[in-house]
Structure formats: C-alpha cells, structure tokens
C-alpha cells in the first residue's frame, strides 16, 4: 500500500510550472556554475544568465525612505458604519466609501518607525508611522499619520532640519541626543511632543496594540459644498500597550524584529487585528474661543468639546505575498484624497502634500502609481506619457490613442461631471508674510498631558528625560528645562532632580554618549583570541 505522506512524482505540467527561468523566460539548466575557461579558469563575458542575475541583485534595493524606512504591512478591509456618531455621515461628507452601512473597501496598511533606518531595532524610542491606503471606487485615498496624535513642528520649513537633527551625525554617523535636544530646546513647540515621546508612549509594545492618527487637520465636504474641519483617529480594539525603556532593552537583547513578526504571526494564526476609525469634527473657522489654533499639529483637540465619533472599522486579515513588492514599494501621499475629502490650511499638511509624492517619484520612479500595490482598483485614464519604468498606457476604452492631451475634439479624454458643489473656502484678506501663527501656546498642553499621565508614566518620562539630557551640554539642558518649566513646575522639578542624580553618580562622571559607553564595554569585555 502506498504511503499517503510520501511525495508523489510531479506531472509534466507541474514540473513546467516550477522550472527556473531567467527574465526573458529562458529555462535555466545550470544555476550552480558560471561558464569558465576550464573548470577553474576565468569567467567569460557571454555568461548572460549570470550577468542578468547579478546585475538585478546589485539593484535589489531602491533608495531607502528618508523617514519611515523600517516598516511592516498587511492587507485588510474597511467597513463603513454609514453614520458619524448618531448622524447620517452624508450631513458632513459625500465621500462614497462612508455612505452605506456595511460598505467594504479594501485597504493596505504600512506601520513603521519614523527616524531610524531600514534594519533598525523596533524597540527604539520613536514615533510609529500608521499609513492606510483605501482602494475606493473613486480611486485611492491615503490616510498618512503616526501613532501619536501630535507632531514636533507646525511649519514644514523646519522639517528637513528636524530630521537632520534626529538622524546620525554627518561626521560620526551616530545618532546623538545632544543634537536631538539642541533642535528641541530651540523649538519650544516640540515640548508637547517630547512629553509623549519620552514617556512609555514613545515605545509601543507592537503595531497591533497602538493607536493611529492623521495628525494634521483635514476637511470633509458634503453635497452642498459645505465643509467642516476633521481629525482622524484609529483606535485599536485589541487595547493599547506601551513599554518601559528597561523592558524594551530586554526585548531588543532577544531580537530586534519583534513588532514585524508579531503582526505577521497574528494574521497568520487568524488573530486579525481591528481598529475603529473615529473623527473629531469642528466648524471651519478661526475659533477664537480656543487658546490654540485648530490647524496647529502640535495640539490635541479636547475630547470634551470635540468627541471621538465612530465612522467605521478596519480589519487586517492577509499578510503580503512579497515584502519588497508590497511593503517596501507601497507609496503614500497626504495629497491622495477622494471626492468629499479635502485639505485644510494646516501649513505642515500643505508641505507634506508636496513632499510625500515628490519623494515617491524619486524613490520608486515617476510611474510608481502603476505598481500593483499602488494602483487604484478603479479605472485609470490619463494623458501621462513616458517616464522611467512605464509599462502600460492609461487609455480608456474608445479613446483615440493619437490624442494624449485635453481639450480635444478628436476623441481624446473628457472632463468628468462634478459629483457635487465645489467647496469654495473664503481666503484671507491678509498680507503675504513669514510669521508663526497666532496663539502658539507652546506649553499649556504639554503640562496638561504630563498631569493626565498615570504615576508610572510620569515616572518613566522623568527617568528617560533625565538620562538623555545628561548627554547634553549645559546650554542645551537649560533650554529644554526652561521649556518644561513653562509647561508644569512639578514636571520641571522632577526632571531637574533626575538629571542632577545622573550627573552626580560617581560611577558615571560626565555621562558618555551610549555609543561611547558601548564601545568601551566591548573593549573591556572582549576575549583575546590567537590569530589563525
């Protein structure tokens, strides 16, 4: 009797399906040996399969993302509730994906760390990216944000400087907290963000159990062209978990890929993570009753005035088939909006909207939207021509292929009918200027956030700030502590006391940068070996 578990010989069809070929479709009969003059002689130039294989290998890596380089992703579906809170959602937006209860839209989500490189540990203190691509019937919508609901800066002109300060030193190629806090101390609007970042909220336990936020302020537009201001929030139905620094260190000592494998294993085992999408809604005006500008991304909108209203639920239920094709090449942009969604005048959002898509064109290529992971599931018809790696024409059925411009009377593409009244916001009667917004109020919410933390979160925040500020010179420490003092007196006192304790430790002297300390420890602990 045949052993059922024994592998059966493949049929001819099966053998053909798994036969190795090159990119030209030619079967590869020897993938172990290059062609040489004699079996130990030099390689000849006609080794086509070798040259094709090695030159592709040499180009396997596209330029790494400047930020959000380390990432993990998954496919899923978003299901609309058809309402926003207790009201029909059509009152506020005509976006089709939200209108019907139970309507499902495919999604792809990429989680990431922000500052660190592609193979950096996922335990490092850093905001986490939370970017969602909705493949709607009206084309793609990208909701691009982070796990933390605010940001370091409010003006996009400061973004390159911020990233440079947080990235490795251009001479030593090592990240340096003195450089980090030099920028932070001279940017008082960042005080609120570092209050979150150096608390346990700066190290989420994994990607499944963290919040997401659009960070910036957007708009919703209804059928009549009326608009409201919107903040987006993803709330995990698994709950929220964060790590202490000591716990993160222990996890990193085991492995530095824990969040990626956690997401993969959960989906592989059918433990599909879910989030509810909530929005905060505000009338589109200046709001003089608030002590901050609602367009300021360094601020939270108070929930007691602007409650979280549920609009739908997302479930991630399928892992990528290929990491590079999907997670690495997926390209997001804050300008990727569908009808019924719009921009606010948030300066940082305006800057991101140019920068994100410009980065994708540089990183992946001018035709990055034709890649399957980026391509909309709806029909595409454009007059774009040429460009690197273009592999199809965006022609409509019946379009005259000789006409790649508009307007035309020769059978070219035509403008679409308007789905509703245009939103026509009133623009400012003001001078063109370079000036920060009114009501910057850089410190009040930082103090409020500190006071709202639980005791253990405050303890961890103080411990982390003290340890990291100890690596800075006195001028930078004074700048940062001065900002913290304006946020909350107790907050300032406790960080100052922790800093003094670290600086007074006789075993430390002047604290070394962690890289210096690690290098010294490696030298001290290294075991002698004889040459071989």
Catalytic residue IDs = 68, 146
Distance, CA of 59 to CA of 327 (rounded, Å): 17
Half-sphere exposure of 439 (CA within 13 A, CB side): 15
CA distances to 112, 172, 233, 487 from 311, rounded to whole Å, are 25, 48, 10, 34
In three-state secondary structure terms, 51 is: helix
Dihedral, 108, 109, 112, 115 alpha carbons, nearest 10: 80
What is the rounded distance in angstroms from the CA atom of residue 395 to the CA atom of residue 399?
Answer: 6
Beta-carbon contacts of 360 under 8 Å, excluding residues fewer than 6 positions away, are 331, 332, 333, 368
- 252-258 — which CB contacts under 8 Å span 24+ positions? 252/121, 252/123, 256/119, 256/120, 256/121, 256/122, 256/123, 257/122, 258/122, 258/123, 258/206
Own/partner pairs, 247-251, CB within 8 angstroms, 24+ separation: 248/123, 248/124, 248/125, 248/203, 249/123, 251/123
DSSP string, 379-432: ---------TT--S--PPTT--TT--SSS-SSS---PPPPSSPPP-PPPP----
Q: For residue 208, what are the CA distances in angstroms to 110, 130, 155?
A: 12, 11, 31
CA neighbours closer than 13 Å in the CB half-sphere of residue 125: 24
Q: With CA atoms as reference, report the closest residue to 446 among 405, 400, 495.
A: 495
Instruction: Say if residues 320 and 342 touch (Cβ distance below 8 Å).
Output: no
Two tokens, residue 128 = 């986490």
CA distance 193 to 327: 27
Identify the DSSP state of 325. Answer: I
Cα end-to-end span (Å), the chain: 56
**Residue 305 and residue 472: Cα distance in Å, rounded?**
40
What is the C-alpha to C-alpha distance for residues 148 and 41, in angstroms, rounded to an integer?
60
Q: What angle do CA 442, 447, 451 make, to 5 degrees?
A: 160
Residue 525 CA from chain centroid, whole number: 38
Integer Cα distance of 495 and 531 in angstroms: 50
370 close to 391: Cβ distance less than 8 angstroms: yes
């Amino acid at each position: 009797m045949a052993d059922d578990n024994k592998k059966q010989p493949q049929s001819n069809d099966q053998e053909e399906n798994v036969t190795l070929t090159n990119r030209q479709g030619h079967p590869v009969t020897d993938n172990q040996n290059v062609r040489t003059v004699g079996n130990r002689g030099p390689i000849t130039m006609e080794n086509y399969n070798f040259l094709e294989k090695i030159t592709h290998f040499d180009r396997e890596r596209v330029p790494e993302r400047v930020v959000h380089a380390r990432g993990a992703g998954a496919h899923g579906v978003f299901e609309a509730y058809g309402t926003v809170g207790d009201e029909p959602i059509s009152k506020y937006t005509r976006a089709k994906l939200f209108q019907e209860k139970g309507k499902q839209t495919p999604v792809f989500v990429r989680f990431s760390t922000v500052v660190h490189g592609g193979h950096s540990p996922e335990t490092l203190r850093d905001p986490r990216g939370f970017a969602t691509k909705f493949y709607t019937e009206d084309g793609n919508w990208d909701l691009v944000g982070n796990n933390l609901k605010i940001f370091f800066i409010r003006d996009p002109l400061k973004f390159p400087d911020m990233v440079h300060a947080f990235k490795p030193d251009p001479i030593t190629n090592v990240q340096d907290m003195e450089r980090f806090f030099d920028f932070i101390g001279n940017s008082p609007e960042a005080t609120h963000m570092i209050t979150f970042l150096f608390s346990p909220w700066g190290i989420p336990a994994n990607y499944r159990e963290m919040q997401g936020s659009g960070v910036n302020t957007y708009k919703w537009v209804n059928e009549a062209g009326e608009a409201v201001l919107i903040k987006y929030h993803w709330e995990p139905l698994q709950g929220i978990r964060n790590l202490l620094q000591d716990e993160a260190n222990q996890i990193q000592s085991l492995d530095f890929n824990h969040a990626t494998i956690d997401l993969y294993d959960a989906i592989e085992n059918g433990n599909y993570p879910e989030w509810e999408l909530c929005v905060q809604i505000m009338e589109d005006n200046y709001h003089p009753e608030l002590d901050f500008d609602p367009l300021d991304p360094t601020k939270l909108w108070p929930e007691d005035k602007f409650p979280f209203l549920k609009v739908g639920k997302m479930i991630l239920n399928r892992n990528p088939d290929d990491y590079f094709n999907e997670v690495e090449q997926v390209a997001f942009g804050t300008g990727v909006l569908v009808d019924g969604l719009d921009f606010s005048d948030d300066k940082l959002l305006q800057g991101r909207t140019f920068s994100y898509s410009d980065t994708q064109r540089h990183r992946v290529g001018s035709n990055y939207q034709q890649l399957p992971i980026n391509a909309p599931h709806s029909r595409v018809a454009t007059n774009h021509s040429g460009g690197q790696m273009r592999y199809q024409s965006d022609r409509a059925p019946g379009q005259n292929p000789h006409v790649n411009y508009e307007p035309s009377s020769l059978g070219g593409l035509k403008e679409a009918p308007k789905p509703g009244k245009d939103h026509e916001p009133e623009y400012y009667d003001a001078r063109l200027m370079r000036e920060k917004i009114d009501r910057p109020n850089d410190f009040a919410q930082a103090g409020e956030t500190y006071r709202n933390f639980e005791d253990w979160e405050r303890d961890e925040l103080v411990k982390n700030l003290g340890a990291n500020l100890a690596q800075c010179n006195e001028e930078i420490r004074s700048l940062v502590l001065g900002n913290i003092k304006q946020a909350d007196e107790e907050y300032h006192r406790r960080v100052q006391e922790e800093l003094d304790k670290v600086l007074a430790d006789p075993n430390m002297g002047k604290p070394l940068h962690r890289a210096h300390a690690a290098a010294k420890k490696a030298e001290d602990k290294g075991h002698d070996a004889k040459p071989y």
